[in-house]
Amino acid sequence: MRISINVARQELELFTADGACIRRYPVSTASNGVGERNGSGCTPRGRHRIRARIGADAPSGAVFRGRRPTGEIWTPELAAAYPERDWILSRILWLCGEEPGFNRGGQCDTMRRYIYIHGTGEDQPMGEPRSHGCIRMRNRDVIELFEWVSAGTPVEIVG
């Protein structure tokens, strides 16, 4: 398996080892556009891999903070009570850059920036850039994707 994320199209595609596209999902990448620098709030480009899969047994809408479940389940009421939160829900696929000096190491390290593919609130639009750098997906979509991929799966992000 491999994943391709096209920022311009706001789309994630899942490919088999022989190159067949088996899934397409709408996503939401960074509202600040693409970029690799720490603190930029941008979605990093280039070759990555899934470093860790988090939340395998969590229910849909489970809230994560610091990669740990809080015990909360996202609802519109919970979102209204905490409007400042950046909701990380259901599953986390933590990305690690593969290109030293570009998206790995120093001030451009994707993993140290905590860039994930993750679920988000159902009130958040897909197909338009709205995140703080991560790749947001619908909860049902990230749960499905999570079942197809493993740690080490290649991820290419193109701007």
User: How many other C-beta atoms are found inside a 10 Å radius of the C-beta of residue 70?
Assistant: 11
Residue 76 phi, psi (nearest 5): -60, -35
Q: What is the DSSP letter of 114?
A: T
| 91 contacts 54 by C-beta, under 8 angstroms | yes
Tell me which amino acid residue 76 is: P
What local confidence, expressed as pLDDT, does residue 25 receive?
Answer: 98
| 65 contacts 71 by C-beta, under 8 angstroms | no
What local confidence, expressed as pLDDT, does residue 159 receive?
Answer: 87
The token pair at 47 is 């070759």
What local confidence, expressed as pLDDT, does residue 40 receive?
Answer: 97
Report angle CA 105, 43, 33 to the nearest 5 degrees: 130
What Rg, from alpha-carbon coordinates, does the chain have? 15
Domains assigned to the chain: 2-158 (2.40.440.10)
The token pair at 49 is 């891999």
Mean pLDDT in runs of 10 for the chain (159 residues)? 98 97 98 97 98 98 97 97 95 98 97 98 96 98 98 97
